[in-house]
């Protein structure tokens, strides 16, 4: 399966489909000034954080209700024209590019928290609500939503890409935390995929079919999520290590022991330097774990004690504690901004980010081999990892005008994915496939499984209008 | 949506399809004495724990490998004849009945644990491995698999019905714990749905499409599961309450506070009596919670202390501790056998089991109203609940020869489901739809969502041969 990665250079399908004037007229009649064909607006909606060249849609609809989304999809379906759902624009694999033309539906105005069911630990939101907005709005209830990708992404977008982040090791990913969705299908019908019950065995798991479908099966118009009591005690610490290997092995043992650590993030020395420069922090510029412990005061203390012992065995320095909420916020904000810190370290660069996730026992080998390769290549990079999940990101900071740097970085990624697949891992832990990993998906899942995905797509979207040309070509 | 439950009396599709002699010849040629057409064997494979009349398949194939399953499916596909995968026969909603004829593929001989990746906390098994067998085989590694439906079901069957059990409140259900599957599709192709990585964003979530699909999309031939370190400390206790309401409210507060309790099971006084009689236990014959706490010794003590305080506020008696592993095993075995204890309390009876799961804040109302109704009906019953999840089961113990008792019980179930759907719950938390809840599924999910399920089914199984007539009619 993974020997040749034969398909990974498959070119994305980029034949744009015509958007007829009659369709724009129909949209204009329905949406008035909530339709835009201005170039600046279209260009803003035809790109994301990836290295791909902007591919603007023909028009952007600013939807303000589920009905508006349904109406836009019905019009697009009538003309067999692509529809791309747009949240915050923070995806990283080319998900939002209108590579086959069509329209973008901007869901940013659908940003209301519809229901906070604090007693049930659930919340229902419109798709344009961002993760930070949600946490601000539920703060007074003593509850929080843990999934935190680097960007302040929308919950619709996070559902569509099966996002996760630093808390996934304890709280799971969007896969585990979306209870139900409201979806506009490719024919413009509105369905619900589940209930607010914590578990269910009622028929096919439509919720999880849409979570991670990257807009290719329908548009998510409501999201019901699990939320969690804010832990009684939270304590965060950093720990520096003599080597990346020592940090990774500390993580592996922590997980294998079953310590319910809430966050355990790896940052290499090179990336710590970037973070220090960007966020005015004075972190030791050595390989480092950023950790957080949640629980009762006694349990937090106990967890920290156990991890300190493991770290000490691997030459870890004493924990540096971030004790106040402000210090903690500062630390985690710096971590979340690491991506942007890295970009600023090389003005004008773009990032090719890797996203492999491997069984935890294989993480050290996988990561260290790829580290040696990037060091040898001379390409500037950052290295961050949600290492408690076996998921880590190299970001290759390339000059977008230098084809050699891009080719070298893609080759590094290719070697890393090959290595990850060989040990039973995945090419993408949390970013999704988009345009960039279609070949890797074929190598990972195999032709039969990808053909099954295509069959599902053709059945639910026979005109191939929902974000076509992403994940696979139909 | 839920007002009329208009569809809940939809009759199952029971037109059997002919199994031609040529097909039996082809199966005989391939499988020799691993094919049986003996009536006793066929009858044993055409029933489960439900009240439905036995519907035997025309033949049973005892598969010993994935290739054998694929070969049987290819033959069935050639003749467009139904295929029903059979594990332990412990489903409760008519899943295994050959209502449209066809053949049963018995997977009981595919019972090898294929790989124990202790360092990664994963295991890969054949579908006929049972949950108890798995735990016996991994015992020496210090790891365990937590999902425990009442019966000693197979892991293939548990995947197919999205099963859960008493530990789900802490460890999740099969939805959260299946990492990947190997599946034989309706055309006889073998695919893998995922990797051993703990999380992935690589394309559609085929794993979760098959988990809970009740054999209607393909046959599961391998299961890769998450396993967990045995907790350092485990402590189990029972607590009696003056009323069911008090027990339920104790549970709700425990969950709302975020106590990481591992098990919290409700048993009513009537069911405690049955359990005492069956398992020679001396439990107080009052409404009761059975609880278990997992963690470090200090954390277990702390959790128990918190729950004891909550219980005391609701009039709960002092905890009775099951301190030794033997006492704990005895307690949980008695809990798992409650179903059988109940059956024995009324010789010759059959069970109609309810399986609603509701948002936790609505559980007390929902459960108490239904309790009043069953008390008023005079039908003997048991009441058990995985109340930490909002999931509870009434079991109506009916005389199978008395149509009145069956009708009254179905009406009670109907009222309960109506109530559960009205508060955002589901008709089935863990048993699945099978034959019995097809109407409820329509009421719960709505015509649009069920039509989407049908579309998926038609796309993946165009000849409608995989366990046809279950979940919905095509």
Contact call for A456 and B204, based on CB within 8 A: yes
Task: Give the pLDDT score at A294.
Answer: 96
Q: In the numeric block, which tokens belong to residue A92?
A: 């990283």
Contact call for A203 and B212, based on CB within 8 A: yes
Nearest CA in chain A to B189: A448
Contact call for B455 and A460, based on CB within 8 A: yes
B275 neighbors B283 (Cβ within 8 angstroms):
yes
- Which of B8, B115, B198 has the highest number of chain A CBs within 10 A, making it the mutation to test binding with A? B198
Bridge partner residues of B395 (DSSP): B353, B382
- All CATH 3.30.43.10 domain ranges in chain B, comma separated: 21-106
**pLDDT higher than threshold 90 for residue B359:** yes
Nearest CA in chain A to B165: A199
Task: Give the pLDDT score at B9.
Answer: 38
- pLDDT tens for residues A113-158? 999 999 999 999 999 999 999 999 999 999 999 999 989 999 999 9
* Cα A114 to the center of its chain, rounded Å: 24
Could you say which of A203, A429, A456 has the minimum Cβ distance to residue B199? A429
**pLDDT higher than threshold 70 for residue A50:** yes
Closest CA to B299 of B354, B231, B358: B231
Closest CA to B238 of B193, B188, B293: B293
B221 neighbors B190 (Cβ within 8 angstroms):
yes
Q: Does A122 touch chain B (CB under 8 A)?
A: yes
For the entire predicted model, the pTM comes to 0.96
- pLDDT tens for residues A415-442? 999 999 999 999 999 999 999 999 999 9
Task: Give the pLDDT score at A17.
Answer: 82
Classify A393 in phi/psi space as left (phi over 0), alpha (psi -120 to 50) or beta: beta
Of B63 and B281, more confident: B63
Q: How far apart are the first and last CA of chain B?
A: 21
CA B323, CA B326: separation in Å to the nearest integer? 8
B137 neighbors B118 (Cβ within 8 angstroms):
no
Host H or E run for residue A331: helix A325-336
CA B442, CA A460: separation in Å to the nearest integer? 19
Tell me the backbone φ, ψ of residue B309, rounded to 5 degrees.
-65, -45
Q: In the numeric block, which tokens belong to residue B379?
A: 């039908």
Q: Does B358 touch chain A (CB under 8 A)?
A: yes
Contact call for A212 and B189, based on CB within 8 A: no
Q: How far apart are the first and last CA of chain A?
A: 21
ipTM over 0.85: yes
- Which of B7, B114, B185, B201 has the highest number of chain A CBs within 10 A, making it the mutation to test binding with A? B201
Classify A24 in phi/psi space as left (phi over 0), alpha (psi -120 to 50) or beta: alpha
Q: Does A297 touch chain B (CB under 8 A)?
A: no
Q: Give A347's contacts (C-beta < 8 A, 6+ positions apart).
A: none
**Residues of chain A above pLDDT 70, percent:** 97
Contact call for B173 and A199, based on CB within 8 A: yes
- Which of A165, A199, A255 has the highest number of chain B CBs within 10 A, making it the mutation to test binding with B? A199
Q: In the numeric block, which tokens belong to residue A386?
A: 């949600």
Q: Does A40 touch chain B (CB under 8 A)?
A: no
User: Where residue A51 falls among pLDDT bands split at 50, 70, 90?
Assistant: confident
B26 neighbors B16 (Cβ within 8 angstroms):
no
CATH of B346-436 among 3.30.70.2740, 3.20.20.100, 1.10.275.10, 3.40.50.300: 3.30.70.2740
Task: Give the pLDDT score at A279.
Answer: 87
Helix (H, G, I), strand (E, B) or coil at A29: helix
CA distance B394 to chain A (A): 17
- pLDDT tens for residues B84-103? 999 999 999 999 999 999 99
- Residues of chain A contacting residue B211, judged by C-beta atoms under 8 Å apart: 205
- Per residue in B338-368, is it b (16+ CB within 10 Å) or e — as a string? bbbbbbebeeebbbbbbbbbbbbbbbbebbe
**pLDDT higher than threshold 80 for residue A14:** no
- Residues of chain B contacting residue A448, judged by C-beta atoms under 8 Å apart: 185, 189-191
Please count the residue pairs, one from chain A and one from chain B, whose beta carbons lie less than 8 angstroms apart.
281
Sign of the CA dihedral with B146 first, then B151, B155, and B158 last? negative
CA A108, CA A90: separation in Å to the nearest integer? 12
- All CATH 3.30.70.2190 domain ranges in chain A, comma separated: 233-340
Mean pLDDT across the stretch A8-20? 63
Nearest CA in chain A to B440: A202
CA distance A472 to chain B (A): 9
CATH number of the B21-106 domain: 3.30.43.10
Q: What is the 3-state secondary structure (H, E, C) of chain B?
A: CCCCCCCCCCCCCCCCECCCHHHHHHHHHHHHHHEECCHHHHHHHCCCCCCCCCCCCCEEEECCCHHHHHHHHHHHHHCCCCEEEECCCCCCCCCCCCCCECEEEECCCCCCEEEEEHHHCEEEECCCCEHHHHHHHHHHHCEECCCCCCCCCEHHHHHHCCCCCCCHHHHCCHHHHEEEEEEEECCCCEEECCCCCCCCCCCCCHHHHHCCCCCCCEEEEEEEEECEECCCEEEEEEEECCCHHHHHHHHHHHHHCCCCCCEEEEECHHHHHHHHHHHCCCCCCCCEEEEEEEECHHHHHHHHHHHHHHHHHCCCCCCEEECCHHHHHHHHHHHHCHHHHHHHHCCCCEEEECECECCHHHHHHHHHHHHHHHHHHCCCEEEEEEHHHCEEEEEEEECCCCHHHHHHHHHHHHHHHHHHHHCCCECECCCCCCCCCHHHHHHHHCHHHHHHHHHHHHHHCCCCCECCCCCCCC
Task: Give the pLDDT score at B4.
Answer: 35
- Which of A7, A122, A146, A198 has the highest number of chain B CBs within 10 A, making it the mutation to test binding with B? A198
Of B5 and B284, more confident: B284
Cα distances from B69 to residues B84, B91, B183, B316, B396, in angstroms, run: 11, 21, 10, 53, 37
**Which burial class, exposed, middle or buried, applies to B280 when counting CB atoms under 10 A from its CB (0-12, 13-18, 19+)?**
exposed
CA B382, CA B331: separation in Å to the nearest integer? 18
* Cα A147 to the center of its chain, rounded Å: 10
- All CATH 3.30.70.2740 domain ranges in chain A, comma separated: 346-436
Q: Does A433 touch chain B (CB under 8 A)?
A: yes
Host H or E run for residue A408: helix A403-422
**pLDDT higher than threshold 70 for residue A311:** yes
- Residues of chain A contacting residue B427, judged by C-beta atoms under 8 Å apart: 202
CA B4, CA A350: separation in Å to the nearest integer? 57
CA distance B66 to chain A (A): 16
Could you say which of B173, B202, B433 has the minimum Cβ distance to residue A426? B202
**Which burial class, exposed, middle or buried, applies to B206 when counting CB atoms under 10 A from its CB (0-12, 13-18, 19+)?**
buried
User: Where residue B230 falls among pLDDT bands split at 50, 70, 90?
Assistant: very high
CB atoms within 10 A of CB B318: 11
Q: In the numeric block, which tokens belong to residue A458?
A: 């053709």
Average pLDDT, chain A: 94
B234 neighbors B293 (Cβ within 8 angstroms):
yes
Host H or E run for residue A382: strand A381-386
Nearest CA in chain A to B430: A201
Task: Give the pLDDT score at B280.
Answer: 87
**pLDDT higher than threshold 50 for residue A188:** yes
**pLDDT higher than threshold 50 for residue B11:** no
CA distance B106 to chain A (A): 23
Could you say which of B164, B200, B213 has the minimum Cβ distance to residue A426? B200
Interface of B with A in 155-194 (CB under 8 A): 161-164, 168, 172-173, 175-176, 185, 189-194
Task: Give the pLDDT score at B13.
Answer: 52
Helix A66-79 / helix A21-31 crossing angle, nearest 10 deg = 160
- pLDDT tens for residues A363-400? 999 999 999 999 999 999 999 999 999 999 999 999 99
Sign of the CA dihedral with A408 first, then A412, A415, and A421 last? negative
Q: Does B385 touch chain A (CB under 8 A)?
A: no
CA B309, CA B254: separation in Å to the nearest integer? 10
Instruction: Provide the CATH topology of domain A117-229.
Output: 3.30.465
Instruction: Provide the CATH topology of domain A233-340.
Output: Alpha-Beta Plaits (3.30.70)
- Residues of chain A contacting residue B456, judged by C-beta atoms under 8 Å apart: 204, 209, 456, 459-460
Task: Give the pLDDT score at B281.
Answer: 87
Q: What is the pairing mode between strands A103-106 and A59-62?
A: parallel
CA A102, CA A465: separation in Å to the nearest integer? 8
Task: Give the pLDDT score at A363.
Answer: 95
Tokens 């890969």 belong to residue? B124
CATH of B113-229 among 2.60.40.10, 3.30.465.10, 3.40.190.10, 2.70.70.10: 3.30.465.10
Q: Does B115 touch chain A (CB under 8 A)?
A: no
Task: Give the pLDDT score at B279.
Answer: 87
User: Where residue A8 falls among pLDDT bands split at 50, 70, 90?
Assistant: very low
- Starting at the earlier edge strand, list the strands of the sheet with A263-267: A320-322, A233-240, A288-295, A263-267, A381-386, A391-398, A350-353
Q: By mean pLDDT, which of A56-70, A319-333, A367-381, B61-75 is the weakest?
A: A319-333
B116 neighbors B32 (Cβ within 8 angstroms):
no
- pLDDT tens for residues A200-236? 999 999 999 999 999 999 999 999 999 999 999 999 9
What single-letter DSSP state applies at residue A389? G
Bridge partner residues of A382 (DSSP): A395
Tell me the backbone φ, ψ of residue A320, rounded to 5 degrees.
-100, 115
Q: In the numeric block, which tokens belong to residue A298?
A: 């006694």
Helix (H, G, I), strand (E, B) or coil at A311: helix
CA distance B280 to chain A (A): 33
Cα distances from A366 to residues A154, A253, B174, B413, in angstroms, run: 32, 16, 29, 53
Task: Give the pLDDT score at A13.
Answer: 52
Tokens 């809990």 belong to residue? B335
**Residues of chain B above pLDDT 70, percent:** 97
Mean pLDDT across the stretch A66-85? 98
A81 neighbors A23 (Cβ within 8 angstroms):
yes
Task: Give the pLDDT score at A3.
Answer: 34
Task: Give the pLDDT score at B18.
Answer: 86
Sign of the CA dihedral with A447 first, then A453, A456, and A459 last? negative
């Amino acid at each position: 399966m993974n020997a040749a990665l034969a398909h990974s250079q498959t070119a994305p399908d980029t034949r744009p489909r015509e958007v007829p004037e009659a369709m724009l007229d129909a949209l204009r009649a329905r949406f008035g000034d909530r339709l835009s064909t201005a170039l600046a607006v279209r260009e803003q909606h035809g790109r994301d954080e990836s290295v791909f060249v902007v591919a603007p849609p023909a028009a952007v609809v600013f939807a303000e209700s589920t009905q508006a989304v349904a109406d836009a999809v019905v019009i697009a379906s009538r003309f067999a024209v692509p529809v791309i759902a747009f949240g915050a624009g923070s995806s990283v694999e080319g998900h939002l590019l209108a590579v086959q033309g069509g329209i973008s539906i901007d869901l940013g105005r659908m940003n209301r928290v519809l229901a906070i069911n604090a007693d049930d630990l659930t919340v229902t939101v419109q798709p344009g609500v961002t993760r930070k907005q949600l946490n601000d709005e539920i703060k007074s209830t003593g509850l929080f939503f843990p999934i935190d990708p680097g960007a302040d992404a929308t919950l619709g977008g996070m559902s569509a890409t099966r996002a996760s982040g630093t808390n996934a090791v304890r709280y799971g990913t969007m896969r585990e935390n979306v209870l139900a969705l409201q979806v506009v299908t490719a024919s413009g019908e509105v369905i619900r995929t589940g209930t607010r019950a914590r578990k269910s065995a009622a028929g096919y798991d439509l919720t999880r079919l849409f979570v991670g479908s990257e807009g290719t099966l329908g548009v998510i118009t409501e999201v019901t999520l699990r939320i969690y009591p804010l832990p009684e005690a939270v304590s965060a610490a950093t720990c520096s290590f003599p080597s990346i290997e020592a940090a990774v092995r500390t993580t592996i043992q922590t997980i294998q022991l079953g310590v319910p650590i809430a966050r355990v993030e790896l940052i290499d020395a090179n990336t710590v330097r970037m973070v220090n420069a960007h966020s005015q922090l004075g972190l030791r510029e050595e390989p480092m774990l950023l950790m957080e412990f949640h629980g009762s005061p006694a349990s937090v203390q106990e967890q920290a004690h156990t991890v300190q012992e493991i770290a000490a065995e691997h030459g870890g320095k004493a924990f540096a504690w971030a004790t106040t909420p402000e210090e903690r916020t500062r630390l985690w904000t710096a971590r979340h901004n690491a991506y942007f810190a890295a970009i600023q370290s090389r003005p004008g660069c773009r990032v090719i980010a890797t996203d492999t996730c491997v069984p935890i026992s294989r993480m050290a080998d996988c990561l260290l081999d790829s580290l040696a390769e990037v060091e040898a290549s001379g390409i500037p990079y950052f290295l961050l990892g949600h290492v408690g999940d076996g998921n880590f990101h190299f970001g290759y900071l390339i000059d977008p005008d230098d084809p050699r740097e891009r080719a070298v970085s893609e080759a590094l990624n290719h070697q890393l994915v090959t290595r990850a697949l060989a040990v039973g891992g995945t090419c993408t832990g949390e970013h999704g496939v988009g345009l960039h990993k279609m070949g890797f998906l074929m190598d990972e899942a195999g032709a039969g499984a990808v053909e099954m995905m295509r069959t599902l797509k053709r059945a639910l979207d026979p005109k191939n209008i929902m974000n076509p040309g992403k994940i696979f070509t139909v």
